[in-house]
Amino acid sequence: MTGSEPRAARRMRPRALRRNELPLDTVALARFLIGKLVVRELEGERLVGRIVETEAYLVGDEACHAFRGMTERNRSLFRPRGHAYVYLAYGTSWMLNVSSQAEGIGEGVLIRALEPLAGADAMARARGTEVRRDLARGPGRLAQALAIDRALDGADLCAKGPIWLADDGAKPLVVGESVRIGLTKAAERVLRFYARGNPYLSGPKRLSP
């Protein structure tokens, strides 16, 4: 690789996000993460996806798993910001969240969808589908594509381990917002964020104008 590529088109090598650059506010973090990367190191292969959809879960928010305090399941949500909280939903789908506050405060950001950037073949194998748009469109599919399960619960996403968050220097995306998806409690709160116009979004189209 030489410097002949036009500057505007050149993409930085993914740089791990530092904990101290993550916004202290959970909603701000949910917006900040739109356009950033999830990097998954799996069996010597690097799977990368751009985050295009997130949701915030807050203190005092009935839909937040921490609403009734810390339990064995949700303890990772109370870790300092930048740690993974992974749990199984509906007995079938793993969910990847990023803890977002100081130690002891249970807030987080659910990563709902990725645009595949690297390792799409491995994602397709894990998902059992060749449909690129469906590889990581939705939190359960995303986890399946990246082989995310209980073993990654509590992982430090600001360290280059099996899974980490990164910035590739891409131009910031235009962020839209809507109510969150699939909730029965606090369903009216506008805490979902997405990359406007991106084809890899989950949920009904009316929520992503």
Produce one character per residue of 17-36: b if its CB has 16 or more CB atoms within 10 Å, e if not. beeeebeeebbebbbbbbbb
Question: Could you please report the per-residue DSSP string of 38-62?
Answer: EEEEETTEEEEEEEEEEEEE-TT-T
Q: Which stretch binds DNA (CB under 7 A): 26-34, 151-159, 188-196, 201-209?
A: 201-209
Q: Cα(128)–Cα(130) distance, rounded to whole angstroms?
A: 7
108 closest CA partner among 148, 73, 159 = 73
CB atoms within 10 A of CB 4: 6
Q: Which is nearer to DNA, 171 or 206 (CB)?
A: 206
**Closest distance between DNA and the C-beta of residue 2, in Å?**
41
Q: Which residues pair with 156 in a beta bridge?
A: 83
Is 206 a residue that touches DNA (CB under 7 A)?
yes
Please pick, from the candidates 88, 124, 159, 179, the single residue that binds DNA as defined by CB under 7 A: 88
- Please provide the distance, in angstroms rounded to a whole number, between the alpha carbons at the two ends of the chain: 39
**Closest distance between DNA and the C-beta of residue 100, in Å?**
11
Within 96-155, which residues bind DNA (CB under 7 A)? 97, 108, 110, 127, 129, 134, 138-142
Is 183 a residue that touches DNA (CB under 7 A)?
yes
**Closest distance between DNA and the C-beta of residue 48, in Å?**
19
Are 62 and 105 in contact by the 8 Å Cβ rule? The answer is no
Q: Which is nearer to DNA, 14 or 30 (CB)?
A: 30
Are 203 and 140 in contact by the 8 Å Cβ rule? The answer is no
Q: Which is nearer to DNA, 18 or 133 (CB)?
A: 133
Please pick, from the candidates 4, 13, 20, 72, the single residue that binds DNA as defined by CB under 7 A: 72
**Closest distance between DNA and the C-beta of residue 129, in Å?**
6
Residues near DNA (CB under 7 A) are 55, 57, 63-65, 68, 71-74, 77, 85, 88-93, 95, 97, 108, 110, 127, 129, 134, 138-142, 180-185, 202, 204-206
